[in-house]
Amino acid sequence: MASVELRNVWKIYGGKVQAVVDACWKCNDGEFFSILGPSGCGKSSTLRMIAGLEEITRGEILFDDVVVNKMPPSQRNIAMVFENWALYPNLTVYENIAFPLRVRNLPEKEIDRRVKNAAEFLGLENVLQMGVRRLSGGEMQRVSIGRAIVREPQVLIMDEPISHLDAGLRARMRDELKKQVERLGVTTLYITHDQVESMAMADRIAIMNLGRIQQVGTPLDIYYNPANEFVAGFIGEPPMNFAAAELLQEGDDFVIASPSFRFKLDDICKSNFLQYRGNSKLKLGVRPEDVCVSLTPLPNCFELPVDFVEPQGDRTIISLQMDKDQTFLAQVLGNLRPPVGQMVYVRFDQRHTHFFDVDSGENIFYNR
């Protein structure tokens, strides 16, 4: 097992396309570390550089504080689970799992012991002699994990390992994968575009967009304290609401105003803004569950018409009509179902209301 560290790593294709820009992060020994981002954000390039499948344009990658830039993939003692599993189609399950051991010329007894162990661990004992072509998606997935763990790698890399499975199986494999990796205790780098996977499985997440690391942190940290507008909007389902707003000073009070809403900042928020000297035009972000909707007036609230109502049983998603065809989603308890068109009283939970810089998208109160 090992830690993985990236120091100012760049990947530039053909001298022009910047796939990875100045990536700096460290995944600790034994950690489940997820790289999350939309497709084309550079997460696969990052991972391929860590695996040694691609050259590093600039910067250093370290395993346990040793630079591995020039080391071929075979010497890095890593294992990889591919998106399409990359099983050898002409071999049986047994031979697929045994493959990395055969490459290392281990004695036959040792190979057999390790393959049997891995198969037992993954519940594959019954299909060992089958050809991999006849397996189901979930089984293929487990075989590819078997092949990865059988030689006890110091780093396990998984590239969208369950995104090819259908939704139900995916949810099950998520739990299973997490359990297996936890039992192994191996350092794991998990690449995905699915925030649910990252949030559910990872100890820490690095969020990437357009080749840049946006934020590195624990799932809850990223959820409650997003570094910028991208992270805030990318994490969470339904996604965070954003609206342009203006900061006004009225006597001793600070007021956030827009054509659709206007509210006074409470003391905690106000103390934050006391030192603020930036642009008075801001972008406000608030998650649907932090939008309180009420049929009776609340203190410091404003009124908005209901655009549509989406009951989901335990909860109701209410879409509120803002100006310029914008809508705000609110997630409330399932028993609240106001009719469409009715004016309702709305208040934002100010502990979880975020303010972003209009130009840079940075969270104004995010302390790096």
Partner 1 sequence: MNKNGTFDNHGETEEIITRKDFGYYLSHILLGRGGRIVLLLIFTLSILIPIIYIASTSLKEPIEIRTSGALFPTGPITSINWIKAFRNVPLVRYLFNSTVVAFFSTLLVLTIAIPTTYSIIRFKTGGWFLPAWILGTYVMPPIVVSIPIFAMVKMVGLQNTLLGLLLVHTMANMPIAVWLLDSYIRAIPKELEQAAWIDGYSRWETLLRVVFPLIRPGVLATGVICLILSWNEFLFALILTYGVQSNTFPIGISRYVGEHGLQFGEMSAAALAGIVPIYLLVFLFSRNLVEGLTRGGVKG
Nearest CB to partner 1, comparing residues 151 and 283: 151
Q: Does residue 89 touch partner 1 according to CB under 8 A? A: yes
Q: Assign 297 to helix, strand or coil.
A: coil
- Under a CB-based contact definition with an 8 Å cutoff, are residues 330 and 318 in contact? yes
**Contact flags string 115-154 toward partner 1, x per CB under 8 A:** --------------------------------x---x---
234: DSSP letter: H
Distance of CA 271 to the CA centre of its chain: 32
Stretch near partner 1 under the rule CB under 8 A, chosen from 10-18, 39-47, 82-90, 162-170 = 82-90
Scanning 123-264, the segments in alpha helix (DSSP H) are 137-149, 167-184, 195-201, 219-224, 229-234
Please, which residues have CB within 8 angstroms of residue 154's CB and are 6 or more apart in sequence?
1, 2, 63, 64, 77, 78, 186, 187
- Under a CB-based contact definition with an 8 Å cutoff, are residues 364 and 226 in contact? no
- Under a CB-based contact definition with an 8 Å cutoff, are residues 35 and 15 in contact? no
Q: Does residue 84 touch partner 1 according to CB under 8 A? A: yes
Nearest CB to partner 1, comparing residues 79 and 206: 79
Residue from the set 58, 104, 113, 351 that interacts with partner 1 by CB under 8 A = 104
Beta-strand pair 17-27/262-264: unpaired
Q: Does residue 80 touch partner 1 according to CB under 8 A? A: yes
Nearest CB to partner 1, comparing residues 103 and 248: 103
- Under a CB-based contact definition with an 8 Å cutoff, are residues 323 and 354 in contact? no
Q: Does residue 83 touch partner 1 according to CB under 8 A? A: yes
Residue count at the site for partner 1 (CB under 8 A)?
Answer: 24
Q: Does residue 17 touch partner 1 according to CB under 8 A? A: no
Residue from the set 51, 132, 156, 256 that interacts with partner 1 by CB under 8 A = 51
Q: Does residue 94 touch partner 1 according to CB under 8 A? A: no
Q: Does residue 79 touch partner 1 according to CB under 8 A? A: yes
Q: Does residue 82 touch partner 1 according to CB under 8 A? A: yes
Nearest CB to partner 1, comparing residues 102 and 183: 102
Q: Does residue 13 touch partner 1 according to CB under 8 A? A: no
Residue from the set 1, 12, 21, 53 that interacts with partner 1 by CB under 8 A = 53
Q: Does residue 99 touch partner 1 according to CB under 8 A? A: yes
Please, which residues have CB within 8 angstroms of residue 121's CB and are 6 or more apart in sequence?
146, 149, 180, 183
Q: Does residue 69 touch partner 1 according to CB under 8 A? A: no
Identify the bridge partners of residue 283 per DSSP, sorted by sequence position: 244, 356
* Cβ at position 329, least distance to partner 1 in Å: 39
Residue from the set 12, 21, 62, 86 that interacts with partner 1 by CB under 8 A = 86
Please provide residue 299's backbone torsions phi and psi, each rounded to the nearest 5 degrees. Answer: -65, 145
Residue from the set 30, 73, 217, 233 that interacts with partner 1 by CB under 8 A = 73
State how far the alpha carbon of 39 is from the alpha carbons of 9, 44, 209, in Å.
Answer: 19, 9, 9
Identify the bridge partners of residue 318 per DSSP, sorted by sequence position: 309, 330
* Cβ at position 100, least distance to partner 1 in Å: 4
Rounded to whole angstroms, how far apart are CA atoms 162 and 137?
Answer: 9
Residue from the set 24, 103, 333, 343 that interacts with partner 1 by CB under 8 A = 103
What are the structure tokens assigned to 266, written together? Answer: 């409470």
Rounded to whole angstroms, how far apart are CA atoms 84 and 66?
Answer: 31
Rounded to whole angstroms, how far apart are CA atoms 175 and 110?
Answer: 30
* Cβ at position 204, least distance to partner 1 in Å: 24
Residue from the set 74, 136, 271, 360 that interacts with partner 1 by CB under 8 A = 74
Residues in touch with partner 1 (CB under 8 A): 51-53, 72-74, 76, 78-80, 82-84, 86-90, 99-100, 103-104, 147, 151
